[in-house]
A and B are shown apart, each in its own frame.
Chain A
Amino acid sequence: MLQMNNVSKVYRTDTVETHALREFSLTVDEGEFVSVTGPSGSGKTTFLNIAGLLEELSSGAYELDGRDISSLNDRERSRVRNEKIGFIFQSFNLMPELNIFDNVDVPLRYRGFNTAERKKRIMEGLEMVGLASRPRHYPAQLSGGQQQRVAIARALAGEPRFLLADEPTGNLDSHMADSVMSLLHEINSTGTTIIMVTHELELATQAKRNIFVRDGHVSAGGQEIHLAAAANG
């Protein structure tokens, strides 16, 4: 479903060249829950950005659902982001001037759904994250955990096949983090593929597979751990 082969990402300034990803190769199958760990600056987030089409790769090949991403123009990339990918960010990234109903509505607007369809999907999303009773609340009126739940509802409203989560519990206390992780597992159980970047090993072990990234590529030496298999074995 997601296949990266020898993907490199280089940031260039006049004097400095920084290799964020070096010949990064990874395959993620449909329905997987993959955690990505690694030290700061290892390239985890760059990988996630490229996977989510938020950045362009410098070289290599990236296929998503069998489509060569490098051949897409801006409008096509935007459509892929809108239809196939959901994002969850560490800092929630809700729009403070919009209430939570309207926040969840944003990707649906770009999808072109009619009013009734949008309303149905928004309320279903909020229902799933336990916030259906507060559609008119603004983000500032919610706790961090609730805000992240709104972000998850927004990510899922378009029924994406991919959920990309960048430190989704990084700004939450342990109780709220557990609640969010439970929700991610629930989502994964419905068949949605999840790739989660985290620096917390405890969370990473909750995924079915962990990718360890170091110096811009998947670390060699068997550190790609099939956690579920390990746990079973």
Chain B
Amino acid sequence: MFRYYLKLGALSIRANPALSTLMVAAIGIGIGACMTIVTINYIMAGNPIPHKSDQLFHVQVDNWDPTQPYEEPNEPPEQMTYLDATALHAAGRAHRQVIGYKTMRVIEPADEDSTPFQIEARATTADFFSMFDVPFAYGSGWDKSADDAVERVAVLTAVLNEQLFGGENSVGKNLVVNGESYQIIGVLAKWTPIPKFYDLNNNTYGHPAQMFMPFSVAIARELYSSGNTNCWKPVGDGGFEAFLASECIWFQMWVELQNESEKEAYLQFLDAYVTEQKALGRFPRPLNNRLSNVEEWMDINEVVDEDVGVLLGLAILFLIVCLLNTIGLLLAKVMRRTKDTSLRRALGAHRAALVYQYVIEAGMIGIAGGLLGIVFTWLGLRGIENLYNEYDFIENLVEMDWVIVMAAVGLAIVSALAAALYPTWRACNITPASQLRIQ
């Protein structure tokens, strides 16, 4: 009977083209508006490293001003001082640990016709690539010995490698960065974690850094951060050395802890470290150390803007309005077909059979509405991309994937079925004789 009901649904849709088109359009527009915002929300709130997000922890220690917290009510700083980052990293108490910061560099292409250009580089430590499961197209990252030996090595993203070397394997080649030669040891495959969880302080939805270099090299070259830097105490005289020794925060630190007991042990280690520092006159505030896994860290940083939540609510309301219209249209269609319904009842259709028939027809309208909704979603996302094209990260937020496509169709079918409930109930409760009597 399923195929028979599909045929009846198609005939009914064809027999009422205006009403059917209006219903499909109402669902399509509602789904399009809703899914446009859902897509952005979904990408913003998506887990960028789901397979191990509960093993990766952002580290916070509270070295801040004794008279006021870093952020009310009593939030510790999001970043770390050089002193703490390097000390905790050197202690090596976690399964893996990474410190890093963002810095801008100038690339001087080998081709003399090409002009130098600025890129975002990330100074980090060896574990970065293995800890965050960064995929490589060619070569690999560096190891701890390269960190220790302050080797001028570099890992390029696929985009920068494409720009400089046409996408060829550039491992072993040299790259001139701010007048110094770096040996390329690795090229990443496509890797765009959204949000950029490992550094939410700097352009949450932006592309990853284009080049990665050893942390030790960056410090040795006295490279300041190009990201957020906050200080609660004046930095003393003495240039970069003084800056490193200051209470200014500009480093992000992550550790990989494989179970709850490792996490507990690491927190105890942090407490012990801070207590030791207190004895040296630092950390004037009460103990307030934190370990936040990836999703907790995204929540703390409110990676999904409040406005998106409001927009999502409005989009859902709009979808409901579209569904109410669809209910009205379906009701009109069903009421036009009362004679058909009564006749089928007279010829032996029981109520459940009619419900089945109408549900399948509504499902077909839902699928058509969902497909139209995908088109509207795509158009909506392109509209947002054009509206906010001055932000370089916007293209990362407006991509549709198969989950969104399936969700759009699924939501449309569910919406159409919900809209069909009342009209179907009305249709199935018509007394057959009342319509067949009309001559």
Contacts and interface: CB of A to CB of B under 8 A. Distances in A.
Interface residues of A, number: 30
A151 B349 CA distance: 17
A93 B342 CA distance: 10
A74 B353 contact: no
A107 B431 contact: no
Contact of A49 (B350, B433, B438, B439): B433
Contact of A81 (B340, B347, B438, B439): B347
Of B339, B345, B348, most A-chain CB atoms within 10 Å: B348
B193 to A, nearest CB: 54
B11 interface: yes
Interface string A72-109: 00110111011100010111010101100000001101
A49 B345 contact: no
Of A77, A81, A91, A158, most B-chain CB atoms within 10 Å: A81
Contact of B11 (A45, A54, A97): A97
Contacts of A82: 347-348
Contacts of A95: 340, 343
Contacts of B433: 49, 54-55
A45 B437 contact: yes
B346 A75 contact: no
Contact of B339 (A45, A79, A83, A93): A93
Interface string A50-84: 00101100000000000000000011011101110
B348 A110 contact: yes
Contacts of B431: 54-55
B128 to A, nearest CB: 65
A223 B439 CA distance: 28
A26 to B, nearest CB: 18
**Main SS of the interface on chain B?**
helix
A106 B436 contact: no
Nearest to B353: A110
Given A55-B431, A75-B352, A107 B439 contact: no
B402 interface: no
Nearest to A86: B347
B18 interface: no
Given A45-B437, A55-B433, A107 B11 contact: no
Nearest to B343: A93
Given A54-B433, A97-B15, A110-B353, A90 B439 contact: yes
B347 A110 contact: yes
Given A55-B433, A81-B348, A95-B343, A109 B439 contact: no
B46 interface: no
Contacts of A52: 346
Contacts of B432: 54-55
B1 interface: yes
A154 B347 contact: yes
Interface of A: 45, 49, 52, 54-55, 74-75, 77-79, 81-83, 87, 89-91, 93, 95, 97-98, 106-107, 109-111, 154, 158, 167, 170
Interface of B: 1, 4, 11-12, 14-15, 339-340, 343-353, 431-433, 436-439
10 contacts: A54-B345, A54-B431, A54-B432, A74-B350, A78-B350, A82-B347, A95-B343, A98-B11, A107-B347, A170-B439
